[in-house]
Every structure is written in structure tokens, then in C-alpha cells.
Structure 1
Amino acid sequence: MLTVGDKLPEFTIPVQQGTDALPAGETLSHDAFPGKWKVLFYWPKDFTFVCPTEIVGYSELKGDFEDRDAVLIGASTDTAHVHLAWRKSDPDLAAADFPWLADNGAVLAKQLGILDAEEHVAYRATFIVDPDNVIQAVQVNGLNVGRNPAETLRVLDALQTDELCPCNWNKGDDVLQIAA
């Protein structure tokens, strides 16, 4: 599995965003959003139970991520058409206004090392990627345990300080100082 310090792999993958039109071959690549932090988070499968709680949780914090020059990018191994159908079936998912990668061939999931060998879907993996496309944080959960988007935001805040941040540090707290 790729980890902290590794470069986000090069990719160009179908993407689905919004509910206004059928997917028409749109793609997103590794070099999208230059100069921005990226929060790339995978869920196992559309039309499941835990996944929408995470997607909605990230969506509710989208403005907070944007305030930190970070973009949300969701992903699963479903197709763009399945993403669209799922979004259209649920108003909360329809409101999740950020790109959803349709990594149907699991190309990026395999490169990241997050593909469950038995289920052939991605683990619940979150990658915080800096503006130079270097992975700065990784969290991976099994298929049945959801993540905490607020914790992802907290870690992003800590990373952006470029300082030593103690356990349970939150934005606005003091950072650690090395004694001289």
C-alpha cells in the first residue's frame, strides 16, 4: 500500500459529478487542482449502508476543506452511471457536490494498494495529498467501519501547520516547541 511520502500515482479516470446529465466520458487526472491539497477517499461500493454516511459526512465539511485550499475527491470501483443513479436516488448524495471517481477497473485502487482481494472493492481509504501530489496522511478501515471526516479535517489542519502537533491537537491550539 502507498503511504506517507509516496507520490500519488498518475491516473486519468472517469468521473461523475452532479445529477444534471448522463456521464459523457468526463475524466479526472492526478494533475487536476494544481496548487491544492487533495482529500481522496474511497468507499467500497455504491448502494450500500455505511458508505453514504461517510459521503454525506465529508460533504457537510466541504466548505471547511475548501477554506484550507483542499478539494474532496470521492471514489469507488463502481461506474460513473452507477454513481449517477445512486446520487439521483438520494437527495443527500445528490447534494455531495464534489467529483466521484469511477475507478471501475480498480486501476487506481490497485496502484494505491487498497483493493480487498476477496470482495474486489476498495477498502475505506483516505489519502491526504499535498499540492505537490505527495501523500501526507493515510487512513484505511475495513469494509464495515466508517470513518470520521472531522478527524480528516483535523489531520489536514495539523499537516498545514508544518509544526509539531501533539495528540488531540486542534486548529488554534498551541503547537509543541523544542526547548533550546
Structure 2
Amino acid sequence: MNYIGKKVEEFKVPAYKDGALTTVSSDDLKGKWSVLFFYPGDFTFVCPTELEELQGLYEEFKDIGTEIYGVSTDSEFVHKAWLDASEQMSKVEYPLLSDRSFTLCNQFGVLIEEEGQARRGTFVINPDLEIVLYEVSADGIGRNAKELLRKVKAAQYVAKYGDQVCPASWEPGDDTLTPGIDLVGKL
């Protein structure tokens, strides 16, 4: 299924953030850029490396008006225990959502049913709650937070300047392209 342009459906799930149990809902995503970062499970191997790398860039994501949400099928209590037990995970400041009901995993098509876990799925959602970018990879393949940050910046640029597009490896400040007949065969 193609998720580009799909609207996020209403949801409300338990979460753990800043030493407190809380909830996160689709209303929390409205009006800002969001990244839902699905991962298979707490207390695993590749997952903490990804979440730690995201934390290292969290301020940069916030600087561009983007909130990060880590999502797994573990409970909010397990999220707390993981952050309490692991030095590298204790640094995580963004919310960790608990999708024990599989509401989000099913909505975003990342549930591994026979395991009750999420695939490694990354979904960038615009302020209108539309998916503008997503990536799903095999369980053993870690993602790159720097590339995700670059892609979010490109998505924001395209949303702001709809007549321009960002070529491969585009970074803010680089030249963009304005699609049109004059570019045909010139690239």
C-alpha cells in the first residue's frame, strides 16, 4: 500500500516521557511536523543504537519544528524500565509510545503479527496529519538519523516552496530544481 498523502487516523496511546507516564494522541501531532519512529522492541540490540542516534539530533529536529515519537509494542512501564536500566537510553527525551493494542502498527502497516512487534518503520507527518515520507526496513538494518533529518528538511522545503523540488542529497542552502519543460533532457 502507498502511504504518501494518507491522513493519520485518530489514536490515543499510553506513553513515557520525562520520567512520567502520559498519553499521546493524534491531536498532539496536529499543526506541527512529526516523525513516528517504529522499532521492534525495548531491551534489544539495533533499537537502542537508533534511538540514541535520534536523541543526539533531537534538538535539531525540535529546531525545525519536528517532534519525534518512538513507537513499539512494549508497555509504557517497560519503556520506563529500559530508560532506567540503560545509560545510553536514559538520555532519550522524546516520548516513547506504547502500542500494545497494535492500533498504530496496524494503521501504518508495520505490525509483524506472529511476533506482536513493529517493523522498523519511519513515517514523516506534516502539520495537516498527512504522511509525506516513509521507510520500512528489515529488522536487522538500522536507520540513519542524519539522513532522516535531511529528508524532513527537504519535505519542509517542498511543502513551503511547492514549485521547487530537492535533488539527490540536497541540503538546506543547496540549489533546488523548478520542474518544467526547459529542464527536460538537461539533467
TMscore range, shorter length: over 0.9
Match of 1:159 in 2: 155
Question: How many positions carry a matched residue from both structures?
Answer: 176
Match of 1:168 in 2: 169
Give the TM-score normalised by structure 2.
0.89
Q: Does 1:120 align with 2:116?
A: yes
Which one of 75, 93, 100 corresponds to residue 97 of structure 1? Answer: 93
| Cα distance, 1:172 vs structure 2 | 1.4
- Runs of 4+, deviation exceeding 4 Å: none
Gaps of 5+ in 1: none
Give the TM-score normalised by structure 1.
0.92
Q: Distance in 2 between matches of 1:39 and 1:136?
A: 10
Larger radius of gyration: 2
Match of 2:10 in 1: 10
| Cα distance, 1:8 vs structure 2 | 1.2
In structure 2, give the amino acid aligned to 1:121.
Answer: Q
User: CA 1:7–1:33 in 2, change beyond 3 Å: closer, same or farther?
Assistant: closer
Question: In structure 2, the residue corresponding to 1:155 is in which secondary structure?
Answer: helix
Q: Distance in 2 between matches of 1:2 and 1:39?
A: 17
Match of 1:63 in 2: 59
Q: Does 1:88 align with 2:89?
A: no
Q: Distance in 2 between matches of 1:59 and 1:28?
A: 19
Which has the larger displacement, 120-129 or 89-98? 89-98
Contact 1:42 1:125 survives alignment (8 Å): yes
Which one of 133, 142, 149 corresponds to residue 146 of structure 1? Answer: 142
Cα RMSD over matched residues?
A: 1.4
Q: Distance in 2 between matches of 1:61 and 1:139?
A: 19
| Cα distance, 1:65 vs structure 2 | 0.5
Which one of 39, 44, 61 corresponds to residue 48 of structure 1? Answer: 44
Gaps of 5+ in 2: 159-163, 183-187
- What are the superposed Cα offsets for residues 77-101 of structure 1, whole Å, 9 maximum, x if unpaired? 0001100000001122111101110
Q: Distance in 1 between matches of 2:110 and 2:6?
A: 14
Q: Distance in 2 between matches of 1:88 and 1:3?
A: 35
Question: In structure 1, the residue corresponding to 2:8 is in which secondary structure?
Answer: coil
| Cα distance, 1:2 vs structure 2 | 5.8
Contact 2:99 2:105 survives alignment (8 Å): yes
Q: Distance in 1 between matches of 2:15 and 2:45?
A: 22
Q: Distance in 2 between matches of 1:30 and 1:177?
A: 34
Which has the larger displacement, 61-70 or 160-169? 160-169
- What are the superposed Cα offsets for residues 6-63 of structure 1, whole Å, 9 maximum, x if unpaired? 01121000011133x5x3xx21101114321001101101000000000001111011
